[in-house]
Amino acid sequence: MTSQLILGNGNGLALASDSATTLLTPEGSRTYEDATKICPLPEPHPVAILQAGSVDLLGMPLGVLINQWQASLGGLRMSLEGYRDSLLSWLGHNLDNWTTQNAMDDQAYKALRNELLRLRRKSLPILKGGEEEWLEGGLDALLATVPDEEHHDATLRAIQERSEWVAGSLVFDPALPPMADGLFDRLGSRSQENSWTPDSVIASAFEGLPQSEQIDQAIHELFHLMVGRNYSITGIPLTHLTFAGYGSDELIPSVASVDIEGAMENHIARSSLSTKNAKRLGVGFALYQPVAQHDTIEMIISGHNPKLLQDAIRDVVGPYPVPSGGRAEAEGDLEDISDSDPDEGADERGAIEEWNKAQQWGEEVFERAIALSDRKNTRKFMRTIAALEIPSLTDTAKSLVAVEALSKELQAAQPTVGGNIDVATITLADGFRWVGQQ
């Protein structure tokens, strides 16, 4: 992880980033403090790219790829979203220069096999009768509870329920689902002697379980639904890029972000495309964009801790008062509470009504705290940012990232934020300038 902060106003932008990077290996994790996460574009482009999350894309350091992409820009300036889209397009067209189709297929193999192994052995969410439930212990546990002659139908039903749940998941990249048919047609036509196929994955992961044409078809439907909904099918972990600066003919700074989730064929899988412009506040403009870890920064700016407040409300309200009648009552159906004991039923109804009132009160308190925090603290902070000169803007950005790092140290957390804090500015007059970097 990392911690980065972009502050901006009519004078320009201040960028601050820590330099810690944590590498995960089979032997454990190791944190280094020499990563450069701010990458400026060359003149005449008043833009920098801040990188958080994974440091590579399918094995190649993303900083190297960004440097190579810069050579294709020439002197033509574009909108900030244009720079972002240009990089994504360049990465897609140049994938075969540093990776192979087999390497990308390996990501799909891991995702498909892991899905089947979870379905077989682990607890995972499914939709049963249109409502979410958990398949505890997977198919192995389920089949142990039903007669042998029902194993086939139980297996088919569980796969279909899992597919229904996956189908209800958000599509993180709309370009991916239309690619599913072509992907599985290509994978299915490969020689099984030299490589895996979807059918060989099914045979391996479902060995010993009921198999039939119906079950195979249901699993293939599940595989298709995963494309665009399951992040690991295109390769993880995630890389977050934030483009900060000035687009062509723009006087007000802005940021444009994207989460890169891997690749499929010649398409870079992406999600969370967003753009934020500096907002007009009174006599000036202000922009505030934290990236990755920023809980402490948010707490300083807002003046309160939303998560702590939610936990406190939850402690005061207490757990839902489950009636003695069982599950129907736990779902709030007061009419189904047994009336075998009128006094007990009335007490249970009263407890549920009181809990609902307390829950509503807690929600109102939380919403009120957010509104007060915004009015009394956040807006004041933004108005201050709008009035700062560039030196004060950079000092503020650096100090806030430093406090985020300090909070991790004081809480004895893993040092995922730390090292030297790199600081830079972007202005229309001077373009990108380092203020402090090691």
pLDDT of residue 282: 81
Identity of residue 9: N
pLDDT of residue 22: 67
Q: What is the 3-state secondary structure (H, E, C) of 218-259?
A: HHHHHHHHHCCCCHHHCCCCCEEEEEEECCCCCCCCEEEEEE
φ, ψ of residue 207 in degrees (nearest 5): -60, 130
Are the C-beta atoms of 5 and 289 separated by less than 8 Å?
A: yes
pLDDT of residue 324: 59
Please state which CATH class domain 3-99+238-306+371-436 belongs to: alpha beta
Give me the residue spans of the domains in the chain.
Answer: 3-99+238-306+371-436, 101-233, 322-368
**Measured distance between the N- and C-terminal CA atoms of the chain, rounded to whole angstroms:** 19
Residue with tokens 């891991």: 110
pLDDT of residue 123: 93
Q: What is the 3-state secondary structure (H, E, C) of 43-104?
A: CCCCEEEEEEECCEECCEEHHHHHHHHHCCCCCCCCCHHHHHHHHHHHHHHCHHHCCCHHHH
pLDDT of residue 331: 47
pLDDT of residue 24: 61
For 170, other C-beta atoms within 10 Å of its C-beta total: 7
Residues of the chain with pLDDT under 50: 326-338
3-state DSSP call for residue 117? helix
